Amino acid sequence: MTRRTVRGLLSALLAAAALTGCSSDADSADAAKPGKSAGAPAAKTAARSGTVGGAGSGCELPVTFDLAEDWKPEAVLPVDPDSELGGFLTQGPVDLVCEIDAKPAGHIGYLRVWQGKGGDASPRAVLEGFVKAEENTSEVTYTRLRTGKQAVTEVTYTFRSPLMDGPRLTHAFALATPDGPVVVHLGGLDTDEHEDMLPAYELARKSVRVG
């Protein structure tokens, strides 16, 4: 794990210690829909600059997807799961394996890729566990989407923190792979920053494929 990642995770860990609350269970219909995210629409299309997931791409993953221009991927190395930091690297049924930094593209935030162990859990169940493990969430909506031949389940929700001026919109999508479920999550400093980064998230979701 890089020094930058450790500093960022430790700061977030201290912030998380101050959070209280619980997640909402609001649901959307389960019918598969065309590939358009719920929540705030992306204002523009992100320029593509390579892919991530394959050998030599910065993060080797069981999926690949397109990267937005100037976003930089970096693998998150595993740590002792019993350590304080190790606990932060796990959210519900998945572990953090890759961070794609938006700062070189002029934004404050990350696309984070999380991976779980093999099993029969559906993408919806994995996302439910992922959201449940994050405190101070509400307005949770799940939607099944299909882009090309790839089906994914997406969740949008609102995250509130006493360290922020207001609530922040959040997006994540999940899909099943032979090596375990994968969750791709977009946060951000605030909702404005999140919405500015949505084109990069949409590019990832629309291009994701197993293998």
Mean pLDDT of the chain: 81
Edge-to-edge, what's the strand order for the sheet holding 48-52?
A: 48-52, 63-68, 209-210
pLDDT, residue 44, reads: 80
CA dihedral 18, 9, 135, 75 (to 10 degrees): 180
Rounded average pLDDT over 187-208: 93
Which residue reads 């600059």 in tokens?
49
> CA–CA distance from 179 to each of 53, 61, 62, 88, 147 (Å)?
13, 9, 6, 22, 21
Rank 23-37, 141-155, 173-187 by mean pLDDT and report only the highest: 173-187
Of the candidates 164, 94, 96, 99, the residue with the CA atom closest to the CA atom of residue 125: 94
Which letter, b or e, does each residue of 88-105 get, where b requires 16 or more Cβ atoms within 10 Å of its Cβ?
Answer: ebebbbbbbbbbbbbeeb
Answer yes or no: is pLDDT of 165 > 50: yes
Lowest average pLDDT, out of 7-16, 108-117, 170-179, goes to 7-16
69 pLDDT band (50/70/90 cuts)? very high
> Could you read off the pLDDT of 37-52 as tens digits, one per residue?
655 554 588 999 999 9
